[in-house]
Amino acid sequence: MNQRYAGSCHCGRVAFEVEGELDGAMACNCSICSRKGSLLWFVPREQLVLRTPDDAAATYMFNKHVIKHRFCPVCGIHPYGEGTAPDGKAMAAINVRCLEGVDLEALEVTHFDGRSK
């Protein structure tokens, strides 16, 4: 069932809404995700609606420079990332830890070995 969620960084400088069916999250062990501790939910990019200006979030790219890791330059929280799915469609990786009203304990978490990729 699709639902609309509100999300933000800690200080609120980066705020957004996202709509979709949150039926699980992914924990990645790559060098950045393991340090951030994020739980990711992948949605088509058009389902992510920014409520603050795009330039409120800073961008960090590394390795192959294919994922834009978006973060707040004030509080340092990483609420989402942007990239392209294997089929060429624009995707957003939402850090579900930044969404309001989500019971993280109820989410099924799958593990992805990004460290080996």
Which letter does DSSP use for residue 99 in this model? Answer: B
pLDDT at 64: 83
Whole-model pTM? 0.94
Burial of 58 (C-beta count, 10 Å sphere; 0-12/13-18/19+):
middle
Interior CA angle at 73 toward 67 and 75, to 5°?
Answer: 115
What is the tens place of the pLDDT at every residue in 26-81? Answer: 999 999 999 999 999 999 999 999 999 999 999 999 888 889 999 999 999 999 99
Burial of 116 (C-beta count, 10 Å sphere; 0-12/13-18/19+):
exposed
Q: Which residue has the tokens 């920014």?
A: 50
Domain CATH for 64: 2.170.150.70
pLDDT at 35: 94
Q: How many domains does the chain have?
A: 1
**Separation of alpha carbons 44 and 19, rounded Å:** 10
pLDDT at 90: 98
pLDDT at 21: 97
Residue 10 has pLDDT above 90, yes or no: yes
pLDDT at 116: 86
Query: What range does the domain containing 56 cover?
Result: 3-116
What is the tens place of the pLDDT at every residue in 81-97? Answer: 999 999 999 999 999 99
pLDDT at 1: 83
